[in-house]
Amino acid sequence: MEKRESLSKTLKRGDIWAFAFGSIVGWGWVMLAGGWVISAGTVGAIIAFIIAAVLCGFVGMAYAELTPALPLAGGSMVWCYRASGYKFAWFSGWAIAFAYVAVAAWEGPAFASAVAYLIPLPEVGFLWNIAGFDVYVPFIIVSMAGTIFTMFCHYRGLKFAAIFNTIAAIALVAGGVIFFLGGVTLGDIANAAPAIRDGFGGISIVLVAAPAMFVGFDVIPQASEEMDYPIRQVGILVLFAIFLGVLWYIMMIVGTAFAAPADFLESASIPLADAASYVFNSKIFGTFIIIAGIGGILTSWNAMFVGSTRILFSMSRAKMLPTVFSKLHPKYGSPTAAITLVGVLGLISPLLGKNALGWFVDASSFGTVVAYLTVSISFVMLRKKEPELKRPWKAPGGYFTGFMAIVSCLFFIVLYLPIGPGALEWPYEWGMVLLWVIIGIILVIVNKIQFGTVTEAERELLLFGEEYARPEKLK
Q: List, for residues 388-441, the tens digit of each pLDDT value.
A: 999 999 999 989 999 999 998 898 888 788 877 667 788 888 888 999 999 889
Is 6 part of any domain? no
pTM for the model stands at 0.84
* 36 neighbors 275 (Cβ within 8 angstroms): no
Is 261 part of any domain? yes
Residue 181: pLDDT above 80?
Answer: yes
* 278 neighbors 188 (Cβ within 8 angstroms): no
Is 383 part of any domain? yes
Task: Determine the structural domain holding residue 170 and report its residue range.
Answer: 13-473
Distance CA 99, CA 215 (A): 8
Q: What is the pLDDT of residue 7?
A: 66
H-type alpha helices, 187-270: 199-214, 219-222, 231-259, 262-267
Alpha carbons within 13 A on the beta-carbon side of 438: 6
Please give the DSSP secondary-structure letter assigned to residue 473. Answer: G
What's the pLDDT tens digit per position in 237-293?
888 888 888 999 999 999 999 999 988 988 887 888 889 999 998 888 888 888 888
Is 2 part of any domain? no
Closest CA to 296 of 116, 42, 148, 103: 103
Is 3 part of any domain? no
Cα-Cα-Cα-Cα dihedral sign, residues 136, 141, 147, 150: negative
| Per-chain mean pLDDT for the chain | 85
Q: What is the pLDDT of residue 144?
A: 92
CATH code for position 282: 1.20.1740.10
Domain count of the fold of the chain = 1
Is 7 part of any domain? no
Is 8 part of any domain? no
Residues 6+ apart with CB under 8 A from 7: 73, 225, 226, 310, 313, 328, 333
Is 86 part of any domain? yes
104: pLDDT confidence band, cut at 50, 70 and 90? confident
Burial group, residue 448, by CB count within 10 angstroms (0-12, 13-18, 19+): exposed
Distance CA 213, CA 394 (A): 26
Task: Report how many helices (DSSP H) and strands (DSSP E) the chain contains, helices first.
Answer: 18, 2
